[in-house]
Structure 1
C-alpha cells in the first residue's frame, strides 16, 4: 500500500472549506519513505459549511515528494495569516493520557483557495496574538513568543548571560507568573544551584565523556575528572515550565563533540536526569 493511500485512510472522505488562523509558518516535515509530510498548526478555525467558529488548536498536513526537485514545503503559510482551505477532517481516535487533543483536530490539506482571507472573528484574534507583550523586572526584559507560548529573555546566570524561556501560565496566555516565580527562586540561590547541577551532570556523564574522548582522534588527551567536567560545562539556556519543572542546557566544550548537556529538574527541585542532546 502506498504512503499516499495510508495517509488518506486517516481522514474522512468528505471535502469542505474552512478558514484557519495559522499559528506559525511551516518549519519542517515528517519523513515517510519517499514522501514528506509537512504541517502547520492553527489557533482557530471557521467551518464554512455552517459558519461555526472554533477557538481551539488544530493542524493541517499534506504530502509532497521528497526529491531534489522539491521547492519549499509545497504550500507557503505565514504566521497569523488567515487562509481559506479545502480539507478532509481526520477520523477521531481514542487518545491515550499523554496525547494532545489536537490529534483529533487534524485535517488533510487538499488546496489553499485564498490567502489573506478576511473574517471578523479571526481578524480580532489575529490582532490579539500579534500584539507584543513583555515582562519587565529586575531579572531582565522578557518578550512573548506566540509560536511556543513562552516569554524569552536573557538573564545573568552566575556571571554568564544565558537565554531564559518561561512557559505561559495557560496555553497561548499572556502571563508567566508561575515560571517567573521558579526562575527567581533559582537565581536567588544561583551559586549553590549552579554547583548542584554541575555536580549531578559530572556524576552521571564523566565516564561517558572519557569514552567519547577515547573514540576521538585526539592524541594524549588528558583524562576528564569530575572536577574538570564541571569546569568545562558552560551554561547556555534554561526553560521553565508553568508547573515549575526545569530544563537546563549547557555547552559541552566538545567533550561530546558539540552536543548539549541537558539537565531535567522536577517542580520540587529534585534533579532527575542528565543527558547529552542535540
Structure 2
C-alpha cells in the first residue's frame, strides 16, 4: 500500500479499496521511519474491512437505531428500520492509531442531520463503540 508521510502532522495517508471504491486512511502517531509498520497496519485494516464492513454497519445500526427513532426523526418522518439504516449510511474512511486501534467513519446521509457516524475498533479488531460526531 502506498502511503505518504506528512512531517507537519506526523501522519501517513493512503487509499483503501472497498467495493471498487477508494477511500482515505489516515494513520496518526507514527514517525517517518515507521512506514513499514504503518503500511502493514493499513493493509490489515483494508483486508479486514473488505470482509467485515457489513458487520460494522450492523453494529452501528444496532447501537444507534433506538436513538434515531426516538430523538432524531424529522416531523412526520417514519421510523427507520435497521436494514434501511444500514443501506443509508455510507463508508467514508478510516483514522488509525499507531497502537493498532482505528475509527471507521460513515456519512449518515441525514439520518442524524448531517453528523458523522464513528465506529471504534480495538487493536484486536473487536468493535468497541459507536459515536455520532461533528
Deviation per CA, 1:101-133: give whole Å up to 9, x if none: xxxxxxxxxxxxxxxxxxxxxxxxxxxxxxxxx
**In the alignment, which residue of structure 2 is the partner of 1:255?**
111
Residue 239 of structure 1 deviates from its aligned partner by 1.1
Q: Is the partner of 2:110 in helix, strand or coil?
A: coil
Matches within 5 A, 1:176-195: 176-195=35-54
Q: Is the 8 A contact 1:166 1:176 kept in 2?
A: no
Residue 183 of structure 1 deviates from its aligned partner by 2.2
Structure 2 unaligned residues grouped into runs of 5+: none
Deviation per CA, 1:35-94: give whole Å up to 9, x if none: xxxxxxxxxxxxxxxxxxxxxxxxxxxxxxxxxxxxxxxxxxxxxxxxxxxxxxxxxxxx
Q: Is the 8 A contact 1:168 1:176 kept in 2?
A: no
**In the alignment, which residue of structure 2 is the partner of 1:271?**
127
Q: 1:212 to 1:160 in 2, by over 3 A?
A: farther
Q: Is the 8 A contact 2:5 2:11 kept in 1?
A: yes
User: Matches of 2:3 and 2:42 in 1, distance apart?
Assistant: 12
The alignment's C-alpha RMSD in Å is 1.9
Matches within 5 A, 1:74-153: 137=1, 141-153=2-14
**In the alignment, which residue of structure 2 is the partner of 1:239?**
95
User: Matches of 2:34 and 2:29 in 1, distance apart?
Assistant: 5
Q: Is the partner of 1:175 in helix, strand or coil?
A: helix
Residue 152 of structure 1 deviates from its aligned partner by 1.1
User: Matches of 2:28 and 2:39 in 1, distance apart?
Assistant: 9
Q: Give TM-score, length-normalised by structure 2.
A: 0.87
Structure 1 unaligned residues grouped into runs of 5+: 1-136
Residue 153 of structure 1 deviates from its aligned partner by 2.3
User: Matches of 1:202 and 1:159 in 2, distance apart?
Assistant: 23
Q: Is the 8 A contact 1:176 1:242 kept in 2?
A: no
Residue 233 of structure 1 deviates from its aligned partner by 1.1
Q: Is the 8 A contact 2:16 2:23 kept in 1?
A: yes
User: Matches of 1:232 and 1:147 in 2, distance apart?
Assistant: 36
**In the alignment, which residue of structure 2 is the partner of 1:207?**
66
Q: Give TM-score, length-normalised by structure 1.
A: 0.45
Residue 177 of structure 1 deviates from its aligned partner by 2.7
Q: Is the 8 A contact 2:116 2:133 kept in 1?
A: yes
Q: Is the 8 A contact 2:93 2:105 kept in 1?
A: yes
Structure number with larger C-alpha Rg: 1
Aligned length: 134
Residue 168 of structure 1 deviates from its aligned partner by 5.1
